[in-house]
Amino acid sequence: MTMLADAKEKWAGAVNTLTLGATAGEGGTRTSTVTVGGGTGVPFMRFDGATPHPPVVAIEIWDREPDDWPAALTAAWGKAVKSPADWARKAVEEAGADLICLKLAGTHPDTGDRSPAEAAAVVRSVLKAVGVPLVIWGCDSEAKDNEVLPSCSQAAAGERCLLGAATEDNYKTLVAACQADGHALIGLSPIDINIAKQVNILISEMGFPLDRIVMYQTTGALGYGLEYTYSIQERGRLAALGGDKMMAMPVICMVGQEAWRAKESKATTEEQPTWGDPALRGMLWELSTAVTLLQAGSDIMVMRHPQAALGLKDMIKRLVV
């Protein structure tokens, strides 16, 4: 037995610890905060290291009613999708969201082109509606995000939100906004460790603290690159444990976004009459994707379906017992 104990891998590093959300005593208005990271071993393997802060579940909401989501998904939220504040409230109260991920889809030039002032107003309404921390995600148009996200950052100043996403070619404006307003930042890259590391280096060279960066390496869903995504995330986590400080950031996964792009999750009964109930199928597709990536070393799981979110929270509890 002594020989086996001596043969155990001794990791040199650990995942950075990050707290999102600021309470009144910390200068914010949040009624709860979320802490992620801190892992010192392979996820959920207690013999290998500690998982002091279990992964958390965020629920994605939009600043406008989605017009391209499958009917089975929007039906799960009902009328709440018509109001970001109502949607956020329902996500917390009925689906147990630890965080809200607000996607500013309506600011995209092709889908509403809403102004920075309009986006900031939505951010304030969601902050007022719920007390959990907030992830503020742009519209994925770099030029428009550079206009909108600084205004949203300022509207949420002091709340210690998570803003995204900064890329290798577009990071300076977002870094400056997060530095000024006390937020954390998402670094986005393809499923490529070298590029992910480069994004982190570029952000840190502007004086931004490494322990306020979260990594997002574009996620593949079940049947659509999940195995490759898993292997890259696992390699990233092992690099962090091995002492690579530029890979020691917690990881966020946009699970719902990717899972509901799969034809298997969104096909209707008319399109695929033998595939079973589309509402159940899509929810399980999302949950299966999430559970897999959870074990690769992800820390913040962004979900879309309320039942998938609840199922994932239950799975996390089982894994950390």
CATH of the domain at 137: 3.20.20.20
Contact 77, 87 (CB under 8 A): yes
Task: Output the CA torsion sign for 88, 138, 26, 310.
Answer: positive
Establish if 6 belongs to a structural domain: no
Mean pLDDT along residues 262-273: 93
Following DSSP, what letter does each residue of 137-171 receive, concatenated? E--S-HHHHHHHHHHHHHHTTTS--EEEEEBTTB-
Write the CA distances from 118 to 131, 151, 156, 295, 303, integer angstroms: 21, 10, 14, 38, 25
pLDDT of residue 8: 65
Lowest-confidence region among 15-24, 220-229, 254-263: 220-229
Host domain of residue 149: 43-315
pLDDT of residue 7: 59
pLDDT of residue 180: 97
Q: Check pLDDT > 80 for residue 136.
A: yes
Mean pLDDT along residues 183-195: 94
Q: Check pLDDT > 70 for residue 45.
A: yes
Q: How many domains does the chain have?
A: 1
Write the CA distances from 314 to 4, 49, 106, 108, integer angstroms: 33, 22, 32, 35
Name the band, by pLDDT with cuts 50, 70 and 90, for residue 10: confident
pLDDT digits (tens, 9 = 90+) for 297-316: 999 999 999 999 999 999 99
Q: Check pLDDT > 90 for residue 120.
A: yes
Contact 99, 34 (CB under 8 A): yes
Closest CA to 1 of 34, 37, 47, 70: 47
Establish if 15 belongs to a structural domain: no
Which conformational region is residue 276 in: left (phi greater than 0), alpha (psi within -120 to 50 degrees), or beta? left
pLDDT of residue 321: 73
The radius of gyration of the chain's CA atoms, rounded to the nearest angstrom, is 19
Alpha helices in the chain, H assignment, sequence order: 2-6, 71-77, 84-95, 116-129, 142-155, 172-181, 193-204, 226-241, 255-259, 263-266, 278-294, 306-319
Contact 145, 109 (CB under 8 A): no
Establish if 169 belongs to a structural domain: yes
Contact 259, 220 (CB under 8 A): no
CA 265 to chain centre: 20
Establish if 38 belongs to a structural domain: no
What is the crossing angle of helices 142-155 and 116-129, to 10°?
Answer: 40
Q: Report cis status (omega within 30 of 0) of the bond before 165.
A: yes
Establish if 34 belongs to a structural domain: no
Establish if 96 belongs to a structural domain: yes
Q: Check pLDDT > 60 for residue 108.
A: yes
Establish if 25 belongs to a structural domain: no
Average pLDDT of the chain, as a whole number: 95
Q: Check pLDDT > 80 for residue 2.
A: no
Joined together, the tokens standing for residue 169 give: 């070619």
CA atoms of 28 and 284, how far apart (whole Å): 36
Establish if 308 belongs to a structural domain: yes
Residue 216's DSSP bridge partners are 188
